[in-house]
Structures are given as C-alpha cells and as structure tokens.
Amino acid sequence: MEKNNIKTPRWHLRAFLIVAVTTAIIAIGAHSVYADSQTYAAKVPDKVLTPNVVESERLGTLNFFDGLPSQESVDKLWDNLDFMRGVDAFLHGIPATSIHAFCGGLREVGVPPFVAGITEELLDARTLMLTPNTTTMYVLTCIDTKTGPVVMDVPPVTLGPIDDAYFRWVTDVGFTGPDQGRGGRYLFVPPGFEGELPENGFHVVQSPTYKNWMLMRAFVLDDGLEGTVKRIKDHLRIFLFSEIANPPEQEFVNLTGVQMNTIHGNDFSFYEELNATVQYEPPEAFPPEIAGIFNSIGIKHGEPFDPDERLRNILIEAGKVGNATARAISYSPRDPGVYLFEGRQWTTPYARLSHEFLEDGVRILTDRTFFHYMATGVTPAMSRPRVGAGSVYGFTAKDSAGDYLDGSKTYRVDLEAPVPAGDFWSFTVYDNQHRSLLETDQKLAGIDSTVPGIMPNEDGSWTVWFSPEAPEGKEGNWVQTTPGKSWSSIIRLYGPGQEWFDKTWVPGDFVLVENY
C-alpha cells in the first residue's frame, strides 16, 4: 500500500484492519464478520440481531454490547415493564376493586355481610353506584363464606345475579335462577370446603371466592313499593349454615337517600384496594395469568404490599394512564363490535352476547374493561336477553355528530312508534366523572314511559328533551342536565320486543338543538 510514494509500515496496516473489523462488529451488533469466519458459523438473519444502539420513540436510546443491555438501559427497561404491568394490573383489576369498593361502601353505611340493604323508595343521586337505574327496587348485600357455608332464603318475584370477588357470574336468583321466581333456599359454599352438606332442600352454590356480591331486583306489584318492601322483609334471610337450627333475626337497612360510595379509586388507592382483595381471598381465586400480573407489581397473596419509592411513583403514573385508558375504551370505543346499530352512537359491552366477554373463543379485553368500569351485575340474563323478558340496554356519551354530550346544551331523542317495550322504556343520565346518577334537581335523573305527564307525539312516537332548563311546553318529556358538566345516558327497554333484536326498530341518537 503506497501513497505519495511513501510505504505504510506493516504494523500500521495491521492496526487499520483491527479497527475496521471492530467497527463492523459494532455496526451490526450481536453478530460479526468474525463469527462468519468460524468453522461452525450460522447464517443469522438480520431480524434476529439486536444492534448495539436502538432508538425507541418511547424510551429513547437503548445501548447494548453484543446483545447485552447496558445498566442504564436495564434500569430504564425495568421501569418501563413495571409501568406496563401497572397499567395491566389496573385494567385487569377493575372487576376485583369494584366488588371490594361495593362491599366496603355497604359496610360503611351499616350493611356488612348478613345484613341486607333495600332501596325502599328507589335510588337517587346521593348514592354513588355505577350506572344504576331509578325505576327498580334493589336489594343489596355481600355474602361472605370465609367462616363457613351461608344460607340465603330468596323471596319470590325477584331477579338478580350473584357474582364472585372477581365479578364472575356464580348464579342467578329469582326468575332467571334455579327458584324461577318462586323463591327458594340457597346454600353458598366456600372454596375448598370439605365439611358435610345437605343432600336436598337447598340450591347449592359453589363459588371460587369467599366474598360474593348480590344485586337483587324486587318487582313492584299492585301493592306498590310498600308491599314490595314487606314481601322482601317477610322472606329474605341470610345466615350461617351452622345457625340453621335457630337463625338470627334478619337485619335490613333502607338505602334510599343514603350518601355512600361503592365505586373504586382511580389513583394509587386502586392498587391498595386490589391488594386487599388478593389478601382476603384464597390464592387460587384469580386466573394464574391475572394473578401473575398482580404479582409482578408486588401484590401477592400472603405477602405485604409495600412498594419502594421508585415503584410507588411508577404505579401512581400507571394508575393515571390505566384510568385514562378505561375512559377512552368506555366513552370513545374504536371497536365497531360494541355498537348496537349501524350509523348510531348507542353501544354496549355485551354486544357479543357473552357474559364472559368471549367471541370465537377469544376474550375481548376491552369489552371487559368497558363493562366493569361503567357497570355492575354480570349475568347471562343481561348479556343474552330474551324476547319479552328482562331488559336491554344501550349506552352513549355522544350526540349524533359524534361529539360528547354537554350539560350546557339542548338535545332531543326521537323514538319511533311503537317502541318495542312490553313493560316500559326509560332514559337515565349519568355523571361521567363517577359514572353514577347525574346530580340535578330531578330525583329520577331520567324519565320513563310510565311517569305522570309524559306525552307521546300525535303519531304515537316519543320525543325526550335533555337540557339544563325545560323547553317551553316540553316539561313532561324533559330530563335535566347540568351546565359545565359532561353526561352520558342509558336507554332501557323492559320486556323488549323482537324488533330490538332484529334491529328493525332503532332508537334515535341525541340530536343537538341549536337556539331552541
């Protein structure tokens, strides 16, 4: 090698080759020219290799030595994994924290296990519950089998699910349960119970968790609310099986108008609520993959949840993102599968007709998040309703143009005649912050087709108005909203007709009315 007739010394040439080869190794990362020269060299495709410098839009520069991450990159990657697991734990943990918050809220107002709460004069906005209705009498309690099997005598003419501590369906009681609305005696058996059980006289129910939540609806007959309350109090009994020879007197608490909260936290307290559930229930209470996600952020049965400052700060951030993600899923879904009708804004997490949120053997995780962030009460009776029985639902937070509903504005909804509801139909409005009833001067936080003063149009169709003040002449068909607040709504049809299921009848969207 010569330049300007000057010879390059051999040791300079050798150094040049060493630098060149080293540079090539650095450039291609894990594999090298040197490896290709070995006797047993593999032909490694580039897609298998990790470069020594990786530029990530989310994490910035990640440095490696022949595939091995630098300590700085390791720290960054572990923090990122903890953050991802924290968000996952939030989204997968909502069913557990929702049950925990509901049972905790009941306990705080004097309704611990074995006590029953009744909304004797129905619900209003003072009680925080996820998207309840104000037309049904609820009977609420949490059944705890940790000290042994629990007996519950169910009154006749009721309906409702029993869900476990992860909000999985266990059984129904009432019309859709084994007693078929006639009333009956149930025996709830704790997981792992090995004692002797009666052979007959009970509907025996085995649950994978100690805590189980009941949402019973009591149907109001000709004897009115007072008669319905009496029927519940005459028949409902909840006590330990060991007390069957001499059951204690049943205690009831009227929940109407009670200021209480049954909704889980959306900050770091969420993880504390999740941990409380994991600690209380048996180790096998949750699916292994789900329990593994909880375990990855330090929530493990039998061990204290005590994150250090680093992990705590990460989980605070993960809780913010998890909560925000649940809101995006619920209020602005991108999956066309949750929309009930083509060209309409009405949605439901049960659009796939599965109470386990399954479609073709696949669990649709966003459907599960959507449901549990917004609602309670998992049962096949809700996910797969029947013509003429039960009820059907549609939810939306948007108007016909796809804009969020604004409590300062005026909207109308038109329902073509005849509305396919054998019993009645209703609209209920909700506060999008806590997802419970919108706080206004109207007790019902909505309207239904049975309220005095509501009037159909001349052709039999219906128009309902939503605004801060009633449009003139529309007071009977008006639902109050709150200026400065967003809101959402659920339409319910009780005793739904075939037209709902085959979509030959479609409810109108919320239409913004300018300058009314």
Cis peptide before 9 (omega within 30 of 0): no
Is 95 among the domain residues? no
Please give the average per-residue pLDDT across 69-82, as a whole number.
98
Q: In this predicted structure, what is the pLDDT of residue 1?
A: 42
189 lies in some domain: yes
Let me know whether 27 and 115 are in one domain. no
Question: Of the candidates 229, 257, 285, which is a domain's last residue?
Answer: 257
Question: At 392, which CATH number?
Answer: 2.60.120.600
Domain boundary among the residues 257, 278, 300 is at 257
| Residues 65 and 138 placed together within one structural domain of the fold | no
340 and 482 both lie in a single domain: yes
CA gap 298, 309 in Å, rounded? 13
Instruction: State which of 240, 257, 274 marks the end of a domain.
Output: 257
Q: Residues 222, 227, 233, 234: is their CA dihedral positive or negative?
A: negative
Q: Do 500 and 431 lie in a common domain?
A: yes
DSSP lists the bridge partners of residue 358 as 363
Quote the CA–CA distance of 336 and 334 in Å, as a whole number.
Answer: 6
Q: What is the pLDDT of residue 22?
A: 41
The arithmetic mean of pLDDT across residues 456-479, rounded, is 97
Determine the structural domain holding residue 47 and report its residue range: 10-69
**What is the model's pLDDT at position 31?**
55
Q: What share of the chain has pLDDT > 90, as a percent?
A: 90
Within this chain, do residues 351 and 474 fall inside the same structural domain, yes or no? yes
Regarding whether 145 and 55 lie in a shared domain, the answer is: no
Are 138 and 31 members of one domain?
A: no
CB 425, CB 378: distance < 8 Å: no
Give the residues across from 1 on adjacent strands: none
Statement: residue 485 has pLDDT above 70: yes
Selection from 274, 59, 83, 285 nearest residue 168 by Cα: 285
Q: Which residues contact 148 (CB under 8 A, 6 or more apart)?
A: 190, 193, 195, 240, 241, 242
pLDDT band at 389 (very low <50, low <70, confident <90, very high): confident
For residue 5, tell me if it sits in a domain: no
Nearest residue to 89 via CA among 337, 245, 312, 299 = 299
For residue 169, the domain's CATH number is 2.60.40.1610
Q: Are residues 386 and 491 in the same domain?
A: yes
Domain contains 318? no
Candidate ranges 35-49, 376-390, 478-492; pick with highest mean pLDDT? 478-492
Give residue 330's identity as a one-letter amino acid code: S
The DSSP output letter for 372 is: H
pLDDT digits (tens, 9 = 90+) for 210-250: 999 999 999 888 889 999 999 999 999 999 999 999 999 99
* pLDDT attached to residue 25: 42
Which of 458, 394, 105 lies closest to 253, judged by CA?
Answer: 105
Position 35 scores a pLDDT of 61
360 falls in which pLDDT band (50, 70, 90)? very high
Q: What's the pLDDT score for residue 36?
A: 64
**Residue 299 domain-assigned?**
no
- In the predicted model, what is the mean pLDDT of the chain? 93
- The tens digit of pLDDT for each residue in 20-29 reads 434 334 444 4
State the total domains in the chain: 3
Does 289 reside within a domain? no
36 and 133 inside one domain: no
Same domain as 142, residue 198: yes
Shared domain check, 243 and 174: yes
pLDDT tens profile 77-108: 999 999 999 999 999 999 999 999 999 999 99
pLDDT (tens digit, 9 = 90+) per residue, 279-330?
A: 999 999 999 999 999 999 999 999 999 999 999 999 999 999 999 999 999 9
Evaluate whether residue 309 is within a structural domain: no
Average of pLDDT values for 435-442?
97
Over 60: is that where the pLDDT of 16 sits? no
Mean pLDDT value of segment 173-190: 96
pLDDT at residue 94, as a whole number: 98
Question: Are 45 and 156 contained in the same domain?
Answer: no
Could you read off the pLDDT of 101-125 as tens digits, one per residue? 999 999 999 999 999 999 999 999 9
Confirm whether 443 is domain-assigned. Answer: yes
Q: Which pLDDT score, from 0 to 100, does residue 37 have?
A: 78
